[in-house]
């Protein structure tokens, strides 16, 4: 090792966001574990009690395992504002609800400022010195037998053995680092960025429950606002965050986005003049020479974020951790930091694939994206791929690889031919009872809306998803010619209300255009078969006492009145 991180060395970290704080935590935890002693100084210009880094605050998988396995931290539950179950993706002309079927970890929304404060406090508790001041200048001194970094801030001067650039896309610091490495190192900032605007809407009562649910609404290339590459509506605790992004996006684009009917339906009433916007940037291309003699960059400063669903917080944390590991294991010179780049290879290697997907969405014909969305409604592989790319669960490389399977291409071609000869309507012999899947959630909500005549409440989508994850075999769909025309959601449970283990019919519905054809009976009988196979002796359901038709319906299936009544109290 040519330039090791010795005992009593000083590591200066510029920026106490997720990248800088994670680097400090990893350094200090490892030193404690191995009995080494180093000094870690974090410069952070913001006071997280008052100022915040612009962000939507979505923590995507595998965030939780990174935090637990690599940093030994557990996200405090009080930081979690909401768990996200899925995404509603709007293409130019088609939309689809995407729910993760195989996600191993949850997606959360947090208040970013609380999250940043939490990580920085953890670093402080481990012994990092936190200086609330902005760095203004940097020097790498390599003359007269000296080899050190000098850091200048508004009120401090520090000599360090190595500097970690964790200052995000701060314009001034990007220039300072470029300048300081001009003769040795040649750091050059990420050459491309996406501009972004954010707006925040406070909500009251059950607004989020009814109008959004635990779902993020994503909009790709809205036709009438071509500058927007993507926009999103994200539910938090008691407010909703809107963000738009694009290379040339402007604040008037945000004005127009907020007025789109498909956006407005998820927002509370507002006066345009009273809405405040905040602007920010994401890197979309890698920086040049992100490390060198006695310097290493992490997080946004590297530009190693994948285009589109960038998961910038994850990237910042992972790069912070890898930089710390490299310093401890290999040292502080350029040769040593090559191991850092190698350990982050998976981030970099996906860049080219992400750029391809981004170009396709931006410049490909609208019908390609719409066709993909349409196809995803019936083809699990396409559905999974769309979910993975919108949620950031998989690398673009793997997503593209999975889509290029010959079997899928064949299926798509078959689908087009089948559509051509599509027969309308359907005879009873065409009814197929099968397991309900997350791809059917939209259809289920539409059937329910038709029956009840009441608009859907957005949180139902998450509720249906939770039925599917609890007892997938007890959730069935009736299908005619590939169209879902009925559904039943059941469960095997007991304990609550002191009821013994029973089969439950919780919700069922048959499209009104297909009622009276015995479809409900087929669904109920299929569910009974499942209950019988699982040793269930009693089946329970709950109906409104005043709904004579429904009571009659269940009577025909052999149901009798049970022994429980419901008690109700009105809250003011
Ligand atoms: C609008 C918007 C929404 C986003 N939403 C999400 C999301 O939902 N999920 C997600 O994963 N990612 C999101 N991102 C990306 C994410 O915010 C970043 O990728 C992530 O914050 C990068 O972390 P970082 O530590 O590298 O930099 P930052 O979080 O930018 O932290 C840099 C820190 O350095 C400090 N600093 C800067 N200059 C100096 C200086 N001279 N002296 C001292 N301190 C300095 C700053 O005050 C700041 O605290 C979003 C980004 C934007 C712009």
Q: Mutation test of ligand 1: which of 136, 170, 179, 249 has the most ligand atoms closer than 8 Å to its C-beta?
A: 170
Ligand 1 center–CA 316 separation, angstroms:
8
pLDDT score of 541: 93
Same domain, 265 and 144: no
Residue 214 lies in a domain: yes
Instruction: Name the more confident of 445 and 94.
Output: 445
**The domain boundary residue, chosen from 296, 326, 349:** 349
Same domain, 158 and 210: no
Strand partners, 505: 490, 541
Residue 85 lies in a domain: no
Instruction: Name the more confident of 519 and 365.
Output: 519
Q: What is the pLDDT of residues 176-228, one digit of tens each?
A: 999 999 999 999 999 999 999 999 999 987 899 888 989 999 998 888 898 99
Instruction: Name the more confident of 456 and 8.
Output: 8
Ligand 1 center–CA 550 separation, angstroms:
55
Name the pairing type of β-strands 162-165 and 295-297.
parallel
Residues 472 and 437: their CA atoms lie apart, in Å, by: 8
pLDDT score of 418: 54
Residue 86 lies in a domain: no
Ligand 1 center–CA 160 separation, angstroms:
24
Q: Is residue 181 lining ligand 1, measured as CB closer than 6 Å?
A: no
Q: Mutation test of ligand 1: which of 14, 15, 115, 151 has the most ligand atoms closer than 8 Å to its C-beta?
A: 15
Residue 449 lies in a domain: yes
Ligand 1 center–CA 386 separation, angstroms:
27
Same domain, 222 and 275: yes
Q: Is residue 58 lining ligand 1, measured as CB closer than 6 Å?
A: yes
2-6, 20-24, 104-108 — which one is most confidently predicted on average? Answer: 20-24
4-18, 205-219, 223-237, 487-501 — which one is most confidently predicted on average? Answer: 4-18
Residues 230 and 220: their CA atoms lie apart, in Å, by: 5
Give the model's confidence band at 457: pLDDT under 50 very low, under 70 low, under 90 confident, else very high. confident
Residues ≥6 apart with Cβ < 8 Å to 41: 10, 11, 12, 13, 128, 129, 131, 158, 160
**The domain boundary residue, chosen from 349, 366, 396:** 349
Residue 438 lies in a domain: yes
Which atom of ligand 1 has the smallest separation from the CA of 314? Answer: 11
Same domain, 473 and 547: yes
Average pLDDT, the chain: 89
**The domain boundary residue, chosen from 334, 349, 364:** 349
Mean pLDDT across 413-442: 67
| pLDDT tops 70 at residue 565 | yes
Same domain, 514 and 526: yes
50-59, 78-87, 317-326 — which one is most confidently predicted on average? Answer: 317-326
Mean pLDDT across 281-295: 95
Give the model's confidence band at 554: pLDDT under 50 very low, under 70 low, under 90 confident, else very high. confident
Which atom of ligand 1 has the smallest separation from the CA of 57? Answer: 8
Q: Is residue 132 lining ligand 1, measured as CB closer than 6 Å?
A: no
Task: Let me know: does 559 contact 541? Beta carbons within 8 Å.
Answer: yes
Mean pLDDT across 511-528: 89
118-127, 367-376, 549-558 — which one is most confidently predicted on average? Answer: 118-127
Mean pLDDT across 230-238: 93
Of all protein residues, whose CA lies closest to atom 35 belonging to ligand 1?
Answer: 15
Ligand 1 center–CA 175 separation, angstroms:
17
pLDDT score of 310: 64
pLDDT score of 426: 44
Q: Is residue 331 lining ligand 1, measured as CB closer than 6 Å?
A: no
**What are the CA-CA distances from residue 378 to residues 243, 457, 466 (Å)?**
30, 24, 21
Residues ≥6 apart with Cβ < 8 Å to 500: 494, 538
Q: What are phi and psi of 151, to 5 degrees?
A: -120, 130
pLDDT score of 389: 83
Residues 473 and 503: their CA atoms lie apart, in Å, by: 12
| pLDDT tops 50 at residue 422 | no
Helices (H), 350-440: 351-363, 366-376, 380-391, 396-403, 406-420
Q: What is the pLDDT of residues 130-140, one digit of tens each?
A: 999 999 999 99
What three-state secondary structure class fits 451? helix
Quick one: what percent of the chain has pLDDT higher than 90? Answer: 58
Q: 454: domain CATH number?
A: 3.40.630.30
Task: Let me know: does 77 contact 108? Beta carbons within 8 Å.
Answer: no
Q: Is residue 244 lining ligand 1, measured as CB closer than 6 Å?
A: no
Which atom of ligand 1 has the smallest separation from the CA of 300? Answer: 26
| pLDDT tops 80 at residue 348 | yes
Same domain, 203 and 181: no
Same domain, 197 and 226: yes
Instruction: Name the more confident of 91 and 27.
Output: 27
Q: 163 is in which domain, residue-wise?
A: 10-57+111-190+288-349
Task: Of 157-171, 300-314, 487-501, give the lowest mean pLDDT range.
Answer: 300-314
CA-based torsion, 210, 218, 86, 70: positive or negative: negative
- For tokens 């605007």, name the residue: 197
Give the model's confidence band at 417: pLDDT under 50 very low, under 70 low, under 90 confident, else very high. low
Same domain, 135 and 151: yes
pLDDT score of 138: 97
How many CB atoms neighbour CB 118 within 10 A? 17
pLDDT score of 221: 85
| pLDDT tops 80 at residue 270 | yes
Q: 279: domain CATH number?
A: 3.30.70
Tokens coding 167:
């200052």
Ligand 1 center–CA 288 separation, angstroms:
19
Ligand 1 center–CA 300 separation, angstroms:
7
CA-based torsion, 85, 89, 94, 100: positive or negative: negative
Same domain, 53 and 138: yes
State the DSSP string of 27-82: HHHHHHHHT---EEEEE--S-TTT-------EE-TTHHHIIIIIH-----GGGEEE
Same domain, 441 and 520: yes
Q: How many domains does the chain have?
A: 3
DSSP code at position 439: G
Same domain, 162 and 203: no
319, burial (CB in 10 Å: exposed 0-12, middle 13-18, buried 19+): buried
State the pTM of this model: 0.83
DSSP code at position 471: -
Task: Let me know: does 557 contact 524? Beta carbons within 8 Å.
Answer: yes
Ligand 1 center–CA 319 separation, angstroms:
13
Residue 99 lies in a domain: no
Give the model's confidence band at 232: pLDDT under 50 very low, under 70 low, under 90 confident, else very high. very high
Q: Is residue 11 lining ligand 1, measured as CB closer than 6 Å?
A: no
- C-alpha triplet 158, 45, 287: angle, nearest 5°: 85
Q: 40: domain CATH number?
A: 3.50.50.60
pLDDT score of 411: 63
pLDDT score of 268: 93
15-29, 200-214, 219-233, 493-507 — which one is most confidently predicted on average? Answer: 15-29
Task: Of 312-321, 424-433, 508-517, 559-568, give the lowest mean pLDDT range.
Answer: 424-433
Ligand 1 center–CA 272 separation, angstroms:
28
b/e burial code for range 452-475 (CB count within 10 A of at least 16 → b):
eeeebbbbbbbbbbebbeebeebb
| pLDDT tops 90 at residue 23 | yes
Residue 512 lies in a domain: yes
Q: Is residue 44 lining ligand 1, measured as CB closer than 6 Å?
A: yes
Ligand 1 center–CA 53 separation, angstroms:
6
Ligand 1 center–CA 498 separation, angstroms:
50
Q: Is residue 231 lining ligand 1, measured as CB closer than 6 Å?
A: no
Same domain, 441 and 454: yes
**What are the CA-CA distances from residue 451 to residues 384, 424, 511 (Å)?**
30, 21, 7
Residue 72 lies in a domain: no
Q: Mutation test of ligand 1: which of 172, 197, 245, 316 has the most ligand atoms closer than 8 Å to its C-beta?
A: 316
């Amino acid at each position: 090792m040519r330039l090791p991180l010795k005992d009593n060395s000083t590591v200066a970290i510029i920026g106490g966001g997720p990248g800088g704080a994670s680097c400090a935590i990893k350094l200090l935890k490892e030193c404690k574990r191995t009995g080494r002693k180093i000094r870690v100084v974090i410069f952070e210009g913001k006071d997280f009690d008052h100022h915040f880094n612009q962000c939507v605050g979505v923590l995507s998988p595998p965030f939780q395992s990174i935090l637990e396995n690599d940093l030994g931290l557990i996200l405090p539950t009080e930081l979690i504002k909401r768990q996200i179950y899925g995404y509603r993706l709007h293409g130019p002309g088609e939309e689809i609800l995407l729910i993760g079927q195989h996600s191993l970890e949850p997606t959360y929304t947090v208040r970013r400022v609380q999250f940043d404060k939490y990580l920085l406090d953890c670093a402080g508790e481990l012994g990092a010195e936190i200086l609330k001041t902005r760095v203004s200048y940097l020097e790498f001194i390599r003359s007269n037998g000296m080899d050190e970094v000098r850091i200048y801030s508004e009120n401090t001067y520090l000599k360090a053995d190595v500097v970690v650039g964790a200052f995000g896309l701060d314009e001034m610091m990007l220039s300072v680092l470029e300048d300081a490495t001009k003769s040795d190192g040649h750091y050059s900032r990420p050459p491309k960025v996406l501009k972004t605007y954010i707006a925040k809407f406070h909500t009251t009562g059950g607004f989020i429950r009814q109008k959004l649910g635990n779902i993020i609404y994503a909009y790709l290339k809205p036709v009438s606002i071509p500058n927007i590459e993507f926009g999103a509506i994200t539910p938090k605790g008691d407010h909703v965050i809107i963000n738009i992004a694009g290379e040339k996006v402007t604040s008037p684009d945000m004005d127009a986005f907020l007025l789109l009917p498909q956006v407005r339906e998820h927002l509370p009433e507002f006066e345009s003049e009273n809405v405040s916007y905040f602007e920010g940037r994401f890197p979309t291309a890698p920086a040049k020479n992100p490390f060198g003699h006695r310097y290493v960059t992490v997080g946004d400063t590297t530009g190693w974020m994948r285009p589109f669903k960038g998961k910038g917080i994850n990237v910042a944390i992972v790069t912070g951790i890898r930089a710390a590991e490299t310093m401890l294991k290999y040292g502080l010179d350029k040769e040593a930091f090559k191991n850092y780049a190698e350990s982050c290879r998976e981030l970099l290697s996906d860049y080219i694939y992400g750029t391809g997907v981004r170009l396709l969405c931006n410049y490909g014909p609208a019908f390609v994206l719409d066709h993909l969305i349409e196809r995803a409604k019936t083809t699990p592989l396409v559905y999974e791929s769309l979910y993975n790319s919108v949620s950031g669960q998989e690398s673009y490389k793997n997503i593209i690889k999975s889509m290029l399977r010959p079997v899928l291409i064949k299926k798509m071609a078959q689908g087009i031919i089948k559509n051509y000869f599509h027969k309308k309507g359907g005879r009873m012999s065409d009814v197929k009872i099968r397991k309900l899947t997350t791809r059917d959630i939209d259809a289920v909500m539409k059937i329910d809306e038709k029956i009840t005549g009441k608009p859907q409440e957005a949180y139902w989508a998450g509720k249906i998803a939770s039925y599917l994850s609890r007892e997938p075999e007890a959730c069935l769909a009736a299908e005619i010619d590939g169209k879902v025309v009925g559904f039943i959601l059941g469960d095997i449970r007991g304990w609550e209300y002191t009821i013994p283990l029973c089969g439950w019919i919780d919700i069922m519905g048959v499209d009104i255009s297909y009622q009276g054809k015995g479809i409900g009976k087929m669904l109920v009988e299929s569910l009974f078969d499942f209950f019988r196979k699982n040793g269930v002796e009693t089946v329970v359901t709950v109906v409104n006492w005043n709904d004579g038709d429904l009571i009659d319906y269940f009577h025909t299936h052999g149901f009798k009145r049970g022994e429980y009544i419901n008690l109700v109290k009105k809250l003011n």
